[in-house]
């Protein structure tokens, strides 16, 4: 009979198995299939792989449940089988492990970003982890193995859920690093392992996946002297290379065996393999280290990492970030005019218009980012040019449609480096409403997550929690739609935006004053200044188009009738200006400014409204 897991680790190195996913792929389960469903569809195949790993010398078997959360299984319409798939994974591993080998219940990340940065509610993430871990625990695993996590907050959340669900078995929490630049490596490692070392629920901490043995050895050497808990190391068989449509891992079993000895010498308590490692890799490692394990137990003098006092950088005061920020801080009336980047290759006309506006008392110029999913010159490039060639501040939009999290953070950092401090952060129109409906929308996060990211940058921290050399100084804005079809949801999202860190809101075009006033009253406790969107109509046809074809625009029938009575083109333009002036006069005491979107870029229309 085997000893309790943590007691066993005190006796010497423990060897884990290799890659279940790699072996399933080798045996014909393709990457577009659910590997975890093999527990139900091909149990003999899973048992065959476990058996090969055990015969190679593995002393612990990992269940085939890495992607077994209901959120990941939903991609294959298997979420209703979550408990069955996970319980069966334990049964199959136990059938091979018997009473001699340990069975580790594998739990991987959820594959979605958790709020506030992502769209996955924290409660839903907790419930997903809870359902999976309950199934593994109920089926009798010896420990919970949290592996291949690349987000520290998600790993800590999973760890704490595991501690609640399975309080009497060990929790092994493993992070996955990709090679970093040398100047950031130490900071990232210290941040992660300080958190894991000081998290009471973590019994074993470690590394797995993403990189080969050499890089993991570097990390192990850095952390071992300052970690008191057992350390696990499970590298990939190098980086995969594509050959004739297959992903091949090139690190040989002999190479792995050499590094297994180095891992042991450097203080690892647990050694195993991740992606690309086969029973032969495990066999060679077993031959190399199991005879040495008892003689090479850790006897290092440990100086445990203590959590650093959290570094909090006070954001740059709002009034010092930009003219817009100063106006918001002092309660001044704000005026903005929208200039849409062209679809062609020249910004000359846009720059001419921006320069002509410089002589007026206008706070900023609003620059949309591919409005209605159109492909135009980049809003960021337009804003940089505008800042360089005019004296008026740009307010570029950033949408979540076209870039993933990495790209969005890069764009924001680039904007700050270019001296752009005003940003309007939006989810963005879906591609299907634009000229390229077949294009893929990214939507890693929504506007709420993007606001949270910008706030982190203003506090001197990037998305992963790594300190920046200098904080950004963004004035963070977002959109609001007082005429949304489901207004309760829009109000709820507005409060979420306020909690995430938004500092002003610009509404969709206002034509129904009553709806705006109702919306303003409901969101008043959020305390966020509101700038009203004003779109002067140019004709009855223009009114019908906006009302019927532009998302978020609703034009009351009385206004449509007023425009319908205008038979001449100029009469329609003037009536649109009068309507805009009336709306502003009626709502001025309730808002902090206006953002005017002149039809067809006619600046004289916008200026005529502002002059009133």
- Supply the CATH number for residue 343's domain: 3.20.20.220
Pair (431, 486) in one structural domain: yes
- For the chain, the straight-line distance linking the first and the last C-alpha, in angstroms and rounded, comes to 88
Pair (286, 348) in one structural domain: no
Give the sign of the dihedral formed by CA 38, CA 44, CA 45, CA 48. Answer: positive
Q: Which domain holds residue 536?
A: 318-611
Residue 186: the pLDDT is 65
Pair (250, 185) in one structural domain: yes
Residue 362: the pLDDT is 95
Of 263, 296, 329, the domain-final residue: 296
Where the chain has pLDDT below 50, the residues are 181-184, 240-249, 293-310
CA–CA distance, 274 with 255 (Å, rounded to integer): 15
Residue 192: the pLDDT is 92
Pair (165, 34) in one structural domain: yes
Residue 238: the pLDDT is 63
Pair (435, 401) in one structural domain: yes
Question: Is 220 part of a structural domain of the chain?
Answer: yes
CA–CA distance, 169 with 13 (Å, rounded to integer): 19
Pair (498, 431) in one structural domain: yes
Considering only CA atoms, which of 259, 261, 262, 253 is closest in space to residue 282?
A: 253
Pair (276, 353) in one structural domain: no
Q: What is the pTM (predicted TM-score) of this model?
A: 0.64
Written in H, E and C, the secondary structure of 554-587 is CCCHHHHHHHHCCCCHHHHHHHHHHHHHHHHHHH
Contacts of 327 (CB under 8 A, 6+ apart): 333, 334, 363, 593
For residue range 178-219, list pLDDT tens digits in order: 765 444 466 688 889 999 999 999 999 999 987 888 888 989
Please list the alpha-helical segments (H only) found in 293-347.
Answer: 318-321, 323-330
Residue 301: the pLDDT is 37
Residue 366: the pLDDT is 97
Pair (179, 70) in one structural domain: yes
Number of domains in the chain: 2
Question: Is 515 part of a structural domain of the chain?
Answer: yes
CA–CA distance, 421 with 584 (Å, rounded to integer): 27
Residue 344 CB burial class (10 angstroms; 0-12, 13-18, ≥19)? exposed
CA–CA distance, 31 with 7 (Å, rounded to integer): 38
Question: Is 22 part of a structural domain of the chain?
Answer: yes
- Taking a C-beta distance cutoff of 8 angstroms, is the pair 430, 401 a contact? yes
Total residue length of the chain: 612
Q: Which two tokens stand for residue 10?
A: 């005190």
Residue keyed to tokens 């909690």: 499
Pair (275, 327) in one structural domain: no
Pair (287, 335) in one structural domain: no
Pair (353, 420) in one structural domain: yes
Pairing relationship of beta strands 422-426 and 475-480 according to DSSP bridges: parallel
Considering only CA atoms, which of 81, 86, 164, 170 is closest in space to residue 132?
A: 86
Residue 180: the pLDDT is 52
DSSP H or E stretch at residue 221:
helix 213-223
């Amino acid at each position: 009979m085997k000893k309790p897991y943590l007691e066993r680790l005190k006796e010497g190195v423990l060897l884990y198995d290799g890659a279940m996913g790699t072996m399933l792929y080798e045996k014909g389960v393709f990457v577009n299939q659910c590997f975890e469903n093999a527990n139900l569809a091909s149990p003999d195949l899973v048992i065959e792989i476990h058996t090969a790993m055990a015969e190679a010398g593995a002393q612990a078997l990992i269940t085939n449940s890495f992607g077994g959360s209901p959120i990941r299984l939903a991609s294959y319409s298997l979420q209703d089988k979550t408990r069955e798939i996970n319980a069966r994974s334990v049964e199959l591993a136990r059938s091979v492990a018997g009473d001699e080998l340990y069975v580790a219940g594998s739990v991987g990340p959820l594959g979605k970003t958790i709020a506030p940065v992502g769209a996955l509610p924290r409660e839903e993430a907790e419930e997903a982890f809870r359902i999976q871990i309950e199934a593994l625990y109920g089926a009798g695993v010896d420990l919970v193995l949290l592996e291949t996590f690349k987000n520290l907050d998600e790993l800590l959340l999973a760890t704490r859920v595991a501690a609640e669900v399975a309080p009497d078995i060990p929790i092994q929490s493993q992070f996955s690093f990709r090679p970093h630049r040398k100047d950031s490596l130490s900071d990232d490692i210290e941040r992660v392992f300080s958190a894991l070392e000081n998290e009471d629920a973590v019994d074993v901490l470690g590394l797995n996946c993403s990189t080969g043995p050499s890089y993991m050895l570097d990390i192990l050497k850095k952390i071992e002297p300052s970690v008191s808990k057992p350390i696990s190391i499970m590298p990939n068989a190098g980086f995969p290379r594509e050959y004739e449509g297959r992903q091949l891992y090139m690190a040989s079993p002999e190479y792995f065996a050499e590094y297994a000895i180095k891992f042991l010498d450097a203080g690892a308590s647990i050694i195993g393999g991740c992606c690309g490692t086969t029973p032969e890799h495990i066999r060679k490692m077993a031959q190399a280290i199991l005879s040495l394990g008892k003689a090479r137990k850790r006897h290092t003098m440990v100086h445990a990492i203590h959590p650093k006092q959290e570094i909090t950088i006070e954001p740059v005061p709002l009034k010092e970030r930009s003219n817009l920020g100063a106006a918001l801080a002092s309660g001044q009336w704000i005026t903005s005019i929208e200039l849409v980047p062209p679809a062609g290759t020249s910004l000359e006309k846009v720059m001419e218009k921006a320069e002509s506006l410089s002589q007026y008392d206008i706070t900023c110029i609003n620059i949309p980012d591919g409005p209605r999913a159109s492909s135009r010159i980049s809003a960021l490039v337009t804003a940089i040019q505008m800042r360089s060639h005019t004296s008026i501040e740009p307010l570029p939009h950033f949408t979540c449609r076209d870039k993933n999290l990495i790209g969005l953070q890069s764009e924001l950092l680039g904007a700050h480096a270019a001296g752009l401090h005003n940003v309007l952060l939006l989810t963005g129109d879906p591609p299907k409403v634009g000229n390229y409906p077949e294009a893929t929308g990214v939507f890693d996060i929504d506007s709420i997550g993007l606001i949270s990211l910008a706030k982190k940058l203003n506090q001197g921290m990037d998305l992963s929690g790594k300190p920046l050399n200098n904080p950004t100084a963004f004035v963070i804005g977002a959109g609001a739609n007082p005429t949304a079809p489901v207004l309760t949801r829009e109000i709820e999202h507005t409060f979420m935006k306020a909690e995430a860190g938004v500092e002003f809101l610009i509404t969709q075009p206002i034509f129904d004053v009553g709806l705006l006033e109702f919306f303003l009253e409901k969101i008043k406790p959020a305390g966020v200044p509101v700038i009203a969107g004003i779109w002067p109509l140019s004709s009855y046809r223009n009114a019908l188009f906006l009302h019927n074809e532009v998302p978020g625009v609703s034009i009351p029938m009385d206004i449509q009738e007023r425009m319908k009575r205008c038979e001449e083109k100029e009469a329609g333009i003037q009536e649109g200006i009068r309507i805009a002036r009336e709306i502003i006069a009626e709502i001025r005491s309730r808002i902090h400014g206006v953002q005017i979107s002149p039809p067809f870029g006619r600046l004289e229309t916008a200026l005529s409204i502002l002059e009133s």
